[in-house]
Structure 1
Amino acid sequence: MRRTVRQSARRRLRFLWFCVLLLTATGARGQTVPDFSSVRSEIRNALVAWDAPSMAVAVAVGGEIVWEEGFGWADRERRIPATEHTMYSLASISKPITATGLMVLVERGLIDLDRPANDYLGPAKIDGRAFDAGRATVRHVASHTAGLPLHYQFFYEDEPYRRPHMDETIRRYANLVTAPDERWNYSNLGYGILDYIIERVSGQSYPDYMRDEVFQPLGLTRTSVGIGRGLEEFTATRYATDQGPIPFYDFDHPGGSAVFSSAHDLVRFGMFHLGHDIGDQRRIISDATIEAMRRPIRESAPGDAYGLGWVMRELPGGLRLQRHGGGMGGVRTELAIAPEENAAIVVLMNSASPLTGYISNLIWHTLYPDAVPKPTPPELPDPHRLEREGILEDAGEGAALIEFTPMPDLVGDWVGEVDTHLGPHRLALAIDDGGRVHAQLGDQLWTLLNNARFDGEYLRGGFKGDIGTGDANRTDYVLSFELRLRGDVLNGSVTAITLPNVRLGNALTHWAELRRRR
C-alpha cells in the first residue's frame, strides 16, 4: 500500500514538473514544448567526439509529438543530412513490430499463441533433440522462452553468399538447446521463424503483409521491411567501426532485424502502443492485445522482463518503461514508451555506438528529473578494446585462463557429440579438480577451454576449432560452449561465433551432448 501511495505521489510530481516544462518553451507552430536545448547540444558534441555520422530523435508526450529532429549526415559521401524522416535500419526493434503483425493474425483467430509453433511450419520443423519440440508454442517463440539458440547470419551484397530458404535455416539451426520454458534465451532465429509463420498463415510475403496490415493502417509511410521500392533515397547509410560505409546486407531472420523506419514513424508506432487514436491510424489490434503484449512472461535480465516483443524495465527512480533496443553492423537504436506517463522516445543511429541509450536516458531525465537520474556519458571508444574484450576472451586470444573450483559431479572425462547439419563430430572434455578444462573436437588437437567457468548449472568457455561446415567457415570464429549439467549428462549449445571484425559476422549454434565416463 505504501509503495502504491509513493508511486502515485511520484506520478503527480512528474505531471507537475512536465506542466512547468510546457511553460518554458514554444514550438514553431505555437504549441508549448519542453526545453530540449541542452540535449541538442549534447547530441551535437557527442557526434563529434565519437566521430559518429548521425542521430535522429523523436519524443511524444500526451498524444502529441513534442520534438523530432535529425543531426549529422545520413550519408556522409553524398552529404545528405539526417532528418526526423530519414529511414534507419532498426535491427532488433523489428521484434515488437513483427510481434504486432503476429497479433493481428492472433486476433483474427488464424494463429493460436498456445499451439506448437511446428503446427504452422512447413516441411522443416523445430527439432527438440533431448526435449519435446511440441511444447515449444508460438508464445514461447515470441517471448524467447522456446529453447531456441543464439543465432545470427549475415549476407553482404559484395560477397557470393546469399540467404537460404527459411526451411533450410530451420533444418540446420532450429534445434532446442534447452527445454521449452526452462529459461529465457534471446534468439533472432525465433523471430525469423515468426516471420515465416506470418507468411505461411497470411499467404503473403512477410514484407507485403507488414506493409498491408501494419505500416499502411498505422500511417507509417517511411517504414518497410528492407528498403522498400522508392524509399532508397530516404535511407541512412550504415557505417562500420572504421567509419566506412557498409555494403547492404541481408540475414536469415528478417522478422528479428529487417525493418527500416524513421524517427517520426517509429514514435508514432510507440504512440499506437500507448493507446492513442491518431487521426490517420486504424486500430489494427485491440487495447486488450496491446496490454497482453506488455505483460511480463519471463525475467530476461536483472530488473528486466520480456513479454511479447517488448522488454519491461523499471528505472532506478521508479519510471517504468516498455522498450526494445537494436544493434548490429552500422546500427544502434532505441524505442521506449512509458505507459503510465503517456510518453514515447526514439533514438536512431547509423553506427554501432552506445550513444543511443545515453541520449534516451538523458531525454527521460529532461522530462522527469525526479524519476530518472541524470545519466553518465559513455566512455569514448578505445581502438584496442576489441583486442581485450568480448568474444576474444572466449577465444583465448590474449585472455588469461580463469580457473574455478568445479563441483565433484563435474570433474572427470566427458565424451559425446556436437551435431551439425552435415553430421556429428566427436566431442570430448577433460575437467580436473583444479578447474582446468581441455576439449577435443573430432581428431583435432586437445585444446585448453579458455575462460572456463561454471555457475552451478552451466559450463561455459571457448576454444578455436573447426566445426567443419561451410556456413561457419565463411569467417574466422571461436567455438563457444554453454552446456548444462544434468546428472551424468552435459548438453546444450556449441556456437561458432565470428571473431570481432569491421563487419558483423555470424553466430551459428549446434546441439551438443556429452556423458561422463565412470
Structure 2
Amino acid sequence: MMRWNGLNRPIEKWITKRVHQLLGLSVILLISGGCSNQSIDQGAHIDTFTRQLDVQILSLMDAYNIPGTAIALVKNKEVVWSNAYGYADIEQQKKLTIDAICRAESISKSVTAWGVMKLVERGLINLDDPVQQYLHNWSLPESEYNLNEVTIRRLLSNSAGIPLGSLGEEYSPDSEKPSLRQYLSKEVQLTYEPGSNFEYSNPGFNLLELLIEEVTGRDFNDYMINEVLLPLNMHSSSFDWDVEWSPKVPMGYDLNGNPVPPYVYPYKASGGLFSTVEDIARFAIAGMAWGNKRQPKVLNRESIQDIQTPQINTSGIFSFVADDYGFGYFIETLPDGKKAVWHGGQGHGWMTHFHVIPETGDGIVIFTNSQRSWPFIAHVLNDWSRWTGFGPVKFGRITKAVTGLRIIIGLTLLVTLLRAGQVIYGITTGYRKPTITTSQAPIIRFIELSAGVAILAILIWSVSQDYLFITSILPVGAIWLGWVLLFLSLTLLCSALLPVVSNDQLSNLNH
C-alpha cells in the first residue's frame, strides 16, 4: 500500500495546484459576472435610453426570476415614459399592464408623512408634542423611558424608540382582522430611549394612523384620499381594498416563486397603500419643491423641505443604502453633491421603490410583483443614475453585495472542493479511517468537528425560519450560499470523523 507522506504527496500537490488555478479563474468570472451591463449612455435621448433599458430589464428579469415589473421615469418634473414587462399572473399568462394596481408597501410611509404634515400646517398638531396628548382612546404601554419623549417628529423619523414590529400579519381582503388599536396594543413597545438612534418601525408609523383618526375624527383612508391622494391626481390609489380592483391587482410571488394572492394588513399607514406606478410618480413629482405647475399644491414649500430634511442618521443595514432619514423619506448626498430622496417597500410577494432628485426634477419609480427584486431594483437604479449623470445612488451598492457574495461562495466552494478531494483520496487509498486517536493533531479535528456542527446547526435554523433578511437582499446568492455551506459542513465532519491514520494505526486497524 502507498504511504500518504511518500508517493501520495506529489498527487496531493497536483490536486492543490489545479484547485488554486480554478480559484483564480473563478474569482475573475465572479467579479465580471457581478458587474452591470455598461451599455447605458449618459445623457442619451429618452428614446435611446428606454430602448437600452428594455434590453436590460428583460435580461435582469430572467436572471433574477422576476415575473413582472412596471417602471415610470420622471424628467423635468413630468412623467416622460412608463412601461410594464412580464406577467401579472404566470399561471393565467396574464400580462402586467401599466395601470395595474399594486401593493406599494412601505412607500405608504412617505405618503402618510404628507397627511401628518397637513395637520401641522393647519395648526392641529405640533411636531414636538408627545403623541400621547392627542390620543384619547388608547395609551402607550408603560416603559422605563419617558413616554413624553415619543413625539410626532420622532415617529415620523423612525427614532421614537419603537422597533420594527412583527412581519407577515396578512389577511385576505374580505376576512376579519384585528382593529388598529388591538394591533397597536400588541406591537407598540419602547425598546430604547426615544431620540437616541434610528430604528425602522412599522408600529411607529401606524401610531401616526391613529393620531390622524383621533385628531380629525375621520377614517384614515377617507382623510388621506381627500387631503392627499385626490389633490395629487392619484385617482387609482387608496389605503382601503376595493373589490372592483380585483381584475387589476396582480398576483404577488414569494422568494420561492410561489403565488401570493392579494392581502391586507390590520393597519394602513406603514404599508397599506394600493397604487399604480404612475400615481407614485405623481407623488414623487409633488415632492420636488412645488411639483409641476399643473399639479395642485397639497403642502407648502416649507413643509416639503421639512419632510426632506435629515432628522437622524441611518444605522445598521440602512446606512449601507442611505445617509439619513427625514419624515418618511430616506435621504442621501450624491457624488456630485445633490440630494436624493427615496423610499422602498417590501411585502410578501412585492417590492417597490421610488428615487428622486428634487433639485433637478428627475425621478424613477419601480414596482415588481416578486419578493426577489432588490438586486433587480439596484441594477435598474444604477442604469438610471448612469443615464442622468448624477453618479451612482447608494441603493445600487446592493449589486456590489451580490458580487461580493459570489466571490465568497466561489472561494468557499473551491476550498471545500480541495478539502473534499483530500478526504475522498484518503478514503479510497485507505489512509482515512474512523478512529478516536490519530497521529493528526487533535486540535485540527476538534476545530473541524466544531465548525461542521455549528454550520449545520445554523443551516437547520435558517431553513426553519419563515423569513430571512439576507434572502430578500440576495435571493439567488443566499440559496447558493446555503448549499455550499452544507457541502462545507459535511466535508468538515467527514474529515474530522475519518482522520488520517499512521501506518502503525492502519496496521492495527486492519488486524
The normalised TM-score by structure 2 is: 0.66
Letter in 2 for 1:255: A
Contact 2:252/2:369, CA 8 A, preserved across alignment: yes
- Pair 1:64 & 2:85 matched: no
2:324 aligns to what? 305
Shift of 1:155: 3.7
- Pair 1:364 & 2:385 matched: yes
When you count helix as a share of all residues, which structure comes out higher?
Answer: 2
Shift of 1:81: 1.9
Structure 1: how far apart are the matches of 2:392 and 2:210?
41
Shift of 1:322: 0.4
In structure 2, stretches of 5+ residues that fail to align are 1-40, 409-453, 473-511
2:248 aligns to what? 234
1:287 aligns to what? 301
Q: 1:225 aligns with which of 217, 220, 239?
A: 239
In structure 1, stretches of 5+ residues that fail to align are 1-16, 26-32, 386-449, 452-460, 465-475, 478-497, 505-518
Percent of aligned pairs sharing the same letter: 25
Q: RMSD across aligned C-alpha pairs, in angstroms?
A: 3.5
Higher mean C-alpha displacement, 360-369 vs 60-69? 360-369
Higher mean C-alpha displacement, 185-194 vs 313-322? 313-322
Shift of 1:236: 2.1
- Pair 1:43 & 2:62 matched: no
Structure 2: how far apart are the matches of 1:109 and 1:369?
38
Structure 1: how far apart are the matches of 2:294 and 2:91?
36
Q: 1:335 aligns with which of 336, 351, 354?
A: 354
Shift of 1:105: 1.4
SS at match of 1:249: coil
SS at match of 2:114: helix
TM-aligned CA distance change 1:243 to 1:117, over 3 Å? same
Could you report, residue by residue, the CA deviation over 1:257-288 in whole angstroms, capped at 9, with x for unpaired residues? 01111111111110010034546632111011
TM-aligned CA distance change 1:207 to 1:292, over 3 Å? same
The equivalences for 1:169-318 within 5 A come to: 169-278=183-292, 281-301=295-315, 302=319, 304-316=323-335, 318=337
TM-aligned CA distance change 1:334 to 1:186, over 3 Å? same
1:75 aligns to what? 89
Shift of 1:232: 2.5
Q: 2:102 aligns with which of 88, 97, 101?
A: 88
Structure 2: how far apart are the matches of 1:324 and 1:208?
23
2:161 aligns to what? 147
Could you report, residue by residue, the CA deviation over 1:383-439 in whole angstroms, capped at 9, with x for unpaired residues? xx9xxxxxxxxxxxxxxxxxxxxxxxxxxxxxxxxxxxxxxxxxxxxxxxxxxxxxx
Bigger radius of gyration among the two? 2
Contact 1:53/1:74, CA 8 A, preserved across alignment: yes
Structure 1: how far apart are the matches of 2:239 and 2:254?
21
The equivalences for 1:484-499 within 5 A come to: none
SS at match of 2:91: coil
Contact 2:74/2:362, CA 8 A, preserved across alignment: yes
Shift of 1:293: 0.4
Letter in 2 for 1:310: Y
Higher mean C-alpha displacement, 137-146 vs 149-158? 149-158
SS at match of 1:231: helix
Q: How many residues align?
A: 373
TM-aligned CA distance change 1:150 to 1:109, over 3 Å? same
Q: 1:122 aligns with which of 125, 136, 150?
A: 136
SS at match of 1:230: helix
1:321 aligns to what? 340
Contact 1:87/1:236, CA 8 A, preserved across alignment: yes
Structure 2: how far apart are the matches of 1:146 and 1:291?
21
TM-aligned CA distance change 1:62 to 1:115, over 3 Å? same
Contact 2:345/2:352, CA 8 A, preserved across alignment: yes
Higher mean C-alpha displacement, 317-326 vs 204-213? 317-326
2:114 aligns to what? 100
Shift of 1:167: 2.0
SS at match of 2:257: coil
Contact 2:115/2:227, CA 8 A, preserved across alignment: yes
1:488 aligns to what? none
SS at match of 2:252: coil
The equivalences for 1:415-430 within 5 A come to: none
Structure 2: how far apart are the matches of 1:52 and 1:261?
20
Letter in 2 for 1:337: V
Shift of 1:370: 5.5
Shift of 1:360: 1.9
Shift of 1:328: 1.8
Structure 2: how far apart are the matches of 1:314 and 1:59?
21
Shift of 1:205: 1.4
Shift of 1:158: 6.4
Could you report, residue by residue, the CA deviation over 1:286-317 in whole angstroms, capped at 9, with x for unpaired residues? 01100010110100133510111111012445
Contact 2:171/2:177, CA 8 A, preserved across alignment: no
2:37 aligns to what? none
SS at match of 2:115: helix
Structure 2: how far apart are the matches of 1:327 and 1:299?
21
Contact 1:56/1:68, CA 8 A, preserved across alignment: yes
Shift of 1:357: 2.5
Could you report, residue by residue, the CA deviation over 1:313-372 in whole angstroms, capped at 9, with x for unpaired residues? 124454531011111211111111102222111011011122112212221211216566
TM-aligned CA distance change 1:378 to 1:500, over 3 Å? closer
The normalised TM-score by structure 1 is: 0.65
SS at match of 1:274: coil
Structure with more relative contact order (C-alpha pairs < 8 Å, separation 6 or more): 2
TM-aligned CA distance change 1:204 to 1:113, over 3 Å? same
Structure 2: how far apart are the matches of 1:159 and 1:84?
23
SS at match of 2:162: coil
Contact 2:107/2:352, CA 8 A, preserved across alignment: yes
SS at match of 1:197: helix
